Structure 1
Amino acid sequence: MSRALSLTTDPIDRLTWRIAWPMSIGMFFNTMYNVVDTWCAGWLGTEALAALSLSFPVFMVVMVTGSGLSQGTTALMAQAWGGGRPEEAKHVFAQSLLLALAAGLVMSVVGNLAAGPIFRLLGAEGSYLTKAQDYMRPVLYGSIFILMPMALNAALMALGETRHFRNFLIGGFVANCALNPVLMWGWGPFPEMGVSGLAVATVLIQAGGVGFLGRQAWRSEVGHGLAASHFKPDAAVLRQIAGQGVPAALNMLTVALGVFVITWFVQRFGKEAVAAIGIATRVEQIVLLPAMGLNTAVLSIVGQNHGAGLPERVREAWVTAIKAGAGLMILGGFFVGFLRGPAMRLFTPDETVISHGSDYLLTSAITLAAYPILFITVFAMQGIKRPAYGLWMGISRQLVAPFLVYQTLAFGLGWGLWGIWWGITCVTWSAALFSLYWGYRRFCRPSLSTIKAVSQD
């Protein structure tokens, strides 16, 4: 059995990769999980595919709630654990489970009441509306099982342990491949559920994740010795978790809104352009996966070392993750630039779509290295309990700047689609350079007294 990590004493470079790689591998399988759902929905017809797409905004609310809760809990627990306050870390963990339970119950009720009107607002009616509701109903009723694994994993991430979540995501992918056709078509003793079967499979897998991750969390250092008193509702701690989690969740929502903004501009150039950006961003997301685990690593490492009052290790963690992420994406950009045409042809034979998508991927090859700089700085700021930075950065990058830059380049200067593609590059790199400047000021130049003052917030 490998030795437990010490996030406050082990070498930073070793810690970074030890935490990041399992998470990156897990996220790859999580991405493929969604690909399998889309593929299976395609067997059921166009309406089933459209129902999944239509359900995305509602499903996104569930996911960002869980992600915000997880990030907030990890930051608070890591701070307490690194600061030598294990009882406080355990208390935060227990309270986060209560918050996940309450949020799941609220979503089950409110979500089912709101889903129908939202789908109608988006233009669904008849059998199309029915299928969208058939898919979302099990997801909303099972919200507790979707939120709980994220809360449980937050405790493990606070200790720098990401291998268990990786194993859960790999197991979930395999289970999804088996359950989807069984529940969709009603093989064996199971009734035919159609598109609902995809949702039921997800809820069952997440419920299994509660058991698996719960067992690992209870066996960990932070789970050992949990008492009933830790689960007594504590308004002050619940407010702290919400104070860290809500800005993180809202930041993720700005990402979803940013996709809507880009699509709104692109659709003015035709359906081929919309199809192209959809495929190209999927390629881009796959290339980004190796660097995404660094976000978790920097959150855990910065959180514990900030709580322990070790500013030099906080600085080293941020710098190490920035260098690693940017380096990986410079290499990834090289391959994207040279293989953009073949990558597009994997998804479509339409030459117009391939041409538009290849143009976007050419600019993406230059943009890729900016994303780790942005994300790592946001997660590092979360690690020192400054989550509002990510929210304001998300609002400016995803909502404010695009309307000014895309409109000017695409239509004001007449660059057309190239204006949007280069606009994305300009907006992203501008935000990344600002993040680099802000991160340098925050992590490389603060005095020890400032670090200690922040850690006591």
Structure 2
Amino acid sequence: MKSIDLTQGDILKHIKRVSIPVSVGFLFNTLFNVVDTYYAGQLSSDALAGLSLSFPIFFIIIALSSGLGSGTTALASIALGKKDPKSFHMLARNALFLSLIVSIIISIFAPMITIPLFQLSGVSGVPLSLGVSYTNTIFYGSIFFILNFTLNGLLNAQGDTKSFRNFLIVGFFLNLILDPLFIYGWFGLPEFGVTGIAIATVFVQFIGTVYLTIRLIKSSEFVKEIYKTAKINFNIILAILKQGVPASLNMATIALGVFVINYFVVRYGGADAAAGFGAALRIEQLALLPALGLNVATLTIVGQNFGASQYDRIIEVRKKALLIGLSIMAVGIIVIYPLAPILVGLFSDNTNVVNYGSGYLRVEVFAFFTYIFLNINISLLQGIKKPFFAIVVGLFRQILPITLFYYLGTTLNMGVHGVWWGIVIINWLAVIIVLLYTSYELKKLKKVLSAPSLKAI
């Protein structure tokens, strides 16, 4: 596989080349989750609620994995932009080692806190037991999730987003077979129920680890002889953590935010509202897929051009990524608003569940543009090695709701609709903050890149 030099050539073509495979891949990843949600709904409303409430806890793994992956992408892109293969391989060695250590820690300690976290959301009884069983199984298989994101980070830095796309597409079709196999106990297997959904997911991730490892070894930038000489280096691990931890914490705050949302949703609407919110999230994820592709494209292209000290191309990436993202979101809003009840109805025939889920979507569409503004700018900041502001924004978006949701839901007696509108208000406030800070950092960057020396970076 030949890597792509993103420091030259047409920016728009690069954005399309990098982002489209990512979006297609995550389309199938979201459909993967949709299949899981569908089967949980077929089992029972309790199973659907348990799976929905597990999302913010399961998201711990996603946050850590994504943080390490995006941190690896940023640093590897900069190394490639500087034409420094030794740094690239040192980074690869240390990123994979760090991934193994983190996954071992998660598989040992995370299951110890699963039950208390579920109880904090206010759930009990059958949804609690089903959610805990599903989540702990995912924790035990965390090594494959984390390795896959790190391997993909090394591939993304080379402009290869097709390998991960291929894995996600194959994974979706495997999951179609494996979910009912483990849930219902086909061919003499035990009936695992909701836990079977988690077993199928872990198995698919294992297949992905094998495939992505092969793809990395075969990539044009990977040289076995150089990799063998690379050593574990504390400074490089620290550099990965400096890039990855802010991204992980930002995503972890999203998990915290969903946890807070679940708490108020259960408080105002009960298990049916939680189930409706969970189903609606799957639909929302489909609408936001282009944003995920644009995030990776922005991070990768900005990273290589930052390494090559090309300020004008960094600015151009930002403008064009925003224009593409906002245009696509406009289409998503037009489609989802009128079809919301039909879309949620695909997951449940419970009228209350459908009403809650469609009610959420019809308010949430007013926040769709915010995800483009937030994600593109945060990806740009990470690409220029300024990742820490993401934590500030993340905490703002997830802590303020505790007060705002209560005020809207209880004081103004809006109930669960207060939660929905609270999300919209907070996101737009966050956009204002992010745009101001990004403009400030870009002005500083222009001065630095114009200077004779880049040591200040």
Query: Are residues 175 and 312 of structure 1, via their aligned partners in 2, closer, same or farther at CA, if it must alter by over 3 Å?
Result: same
Structure 2: 5+ residue runs without aligned partners?
none
Q: How many aligned positions are there?
A: 455
- CA deviation vs aligned residue, 1:231-262 (integer Å, no higher than 9, x gap): 52211101111111111111111111112323
1:385 paired to 2:392 = no
2: CA distance, partners of 1:133 / 1:268: 20
1: CA distance, partners of 2:395 / 2:126: 36
- CA deviation vs aligned residue, 1:256-301 (integer Å, no higher than 9, x gap): 1112323334444433655554444433222111232100000100
Query: What letter matches 1:313 in structure 2?
Result: R
Alignment of 1:396-411 (within 5 A): 396-400=396-400, 402-411=401-410
Query: Are residues 117 and 265 of structure 1, via their aligned partners in 2, closer, same or farther at CA, if it must alter by over 3 Å?
Result: closer
Query: Are residues 454 and 363 of structure 1, via their aligned partners in 2, closer, same or farther at CA, if it must alter by over 3 Å?
Result: farther
- CA deviation vs aligned residue, 1:392-442 (integer Å, no higher than 9, x gap): 101112222x24444444455555555443332222122223322333333
The answer as to whether partners of 2:175 and 2:200 remain within 8 angstroms in 1 is yes
Higher mean alpha-carbon deviation, 247-256 vs 30-39, is at 30-39
- Percent identical pairs in the alignment equals 37
| Aligned match of 1:321 | 321
Q: Displacement of 1:43 after TM fit?
A: 4.9
| Aligned match of 2:372 | 372
The answer as to whether partners of 1:74 and 1:300 remain within 8 angstroms in 2 is yes
2: CA distance, partners of 1:359 / 1:46: 19
Query: What letter matches 1:83 in structure 2?
Result: K
Query: Are residues 360 and 14 of structure 1, via their aligned partners in 2, closer, same or farther at CA, if it must alter by over 3 Å?
Result: same
SS in structure 2 at match of 1:368: helix
SS in structure 2 at match of 1:369: helix
The answer as to whether partners of 1:72 and 1:242 remain within 8 angstroms in 2 is yes
Query: Are residues 295 and 237 of structure 1, via their aligned partners in 2, closer, same or farther at CA, if it must alter by over 3 Å?
Result: same
2: CA distance, partners of 1:126 / 1:430: 38
1:86 paired to 2:85 = yes
The answer as to whether partners of 1:327 and 1:369 remain within 8 angstroms in 2 is no
The answer as to whether partners of 2:291 and 2:375 remain within 8 angstroms in 1 is no
Q: Displacement of 1:87 after TM fit?
A: 1.1
2: CA distance, partners of 1:42 / 1:341: 16
2: CA distance, partners of 1:343 / 1:182: 26
2: CA distance, partners of 1:47 / 1:275: 8
Higher mean alpha-carbon deviation, 278-287 vs 26-35, is at 278-287
1: CA distance, partners of 2:333 / 2:395: 26
| Aligned match of 1:96 | 95
| Aligned match of 2:214 | 215
Quote the RMSD (CA, aligned, Å): 3.0
The answer as to whether partners of 1:5 and 1:160 remain within 8 angstroms in 2 is yes
Query: What letter matches 2:384 in structure 1?
Result: I
Query: Are residues 142 and 417 of structure 1, via their aligned partners in 2, closer, same or farther at CA, if it must alter by over 3 Å?
Result: closer
Query: Are residues 437 and 323 of structure 1, via their aligned partners in 2, closer, same or farther at CA, if it must alter by over 3 Å?
Result: farther
2: CA distance, partners of 1:355 / 1:189: 39
1: CA distance, partners of 2:110 / 2:409: 38
| Aligned match of 2:51 | 52
Q: Displacement of 1:446 after TM fit?
A: 3.9
| Aligned match of 1:233 | 232
Structure 1: 5+ residue runs without aligned partners?
none
Query: What letter matches 2:282 in structure 1?
Result: R
Runs of 4+ in 1 over 6 A off after TM superposition: 120-130, 451-455
Alignment of 1:235-314 (within 5 A): 235-271=234-270, 273-314=273-314
2: CA distance, partners of 1:451 / 1:149: 38
Q: Displacement of 1:347 after TM fit?
A: 4.3
| Aligned match of 1:111 | 110
The answer as to whether partners of 2:266 and 2:273 remain within 8 angstroms in 1 is yes
1: CA distance, partners of 2:345 / 2:128: 32
The answer as to whether partners of 1:315 and 1:444 remain within 8 angstroms in 2 is no
SS in structure 1 at match of 2:224: coil
2: CA distance, partners of 1:266 / 1:276: 10
1: CA distance, partners of 2:450 / 2:255: 33
Query: Are residues 298 and 451 of structure 1, via their aligned partners in 2, closer, same or farther at CA, if it must alter by over 3 Å?
Result: farther
Q: Displacement of 1:320 after TM fit?
A: 1.0
- CA deviation vs aligned residue, 1:118-169 (integer Å, no higher than 9, x gap): 5677678888776555544543333222211111101011112111100000
Query: Are residues 211 and 396 of structure 1, via their aligned partners in 2, closer, same or farther at CA, if it must alter by over 3 Å?
Result: same
Query: Are residues 372 and 351 of structure 1, via their aligned partners in 2, closer, same or farther at CA, if it must alter by over 3 Å?
Result: same
Query: Are residues 417 and 244 of structure 1, via their aligned partners in 2, closer, same or farther at CA, if it must alter by over 3 Å?
Result: same
Q: Displacement of 1:220 after TM fit?
A: 1.2
Alignment of 1:11-90 (within 5 A): 11-45=10-44, 48-49=47-48, 51-53=50-52, 55-90=54-89
Query: What letter matches 1:300 in structure 2?
Result: T
Query: Are residues 321 and 399 of structure 1, via their aligned partners in 2, closer, same or farther at CA, if it must alter by over 3 Å?
Result: same
- CA deviation vs aligned residue, 1:18-61 (integer Å, no higher than 9, x gap): 11111111111111112222333445555654553454444222
The answer as to whether partners of 1:155 and 1:222 remain within 8 angstroms in 2 is no
Q: Displacement of 1:333 after TM fit?
A: 1.6
Q: TM-score, normalised by structure 2?
A: 0.88
1: CA distance, partners of 2:174 / 2:449: 48
1: CA distance, partners of 2:309 / 2:410: 51
Query: Are residues 121 and 362 of structure 1, via their aligned partners in 2, closer, same or farther at CA, if it must alter by over 3 Å?
Result: closer
| Aligned match of 1:6 | 5
The answer as to whether partners of 1:322 and 1:376 remain within 8 angstroms in 2 is yes
Query: Are residues 454 and 144 of structure 1, via their aligned partners in 2, closer, same or farther at CA, if it must alter by over 3 Å?
Result: farther
2: CA distance, partners of 1:262 / 1:35: 20
1:442 paired to 2:441 = yes
1: CA distance, partners of 2:316 / 2:328: 18
Query: What letter matches 1:235 in structure 2?
Result: F
Q: Displacement of 1:348 after TM fit?
A: 4.9
The answer as to whether partners of 1:69 and 1:100 remain within 8 angstroms in 2 is yes
SS in structure 2 at match of 1:34: helix
2: CA distance, partners of 1:55 / 1:287: 22
The answer as to whether partners of 2:265 and 2:416 remain within 8 angstroms in 1 is yes
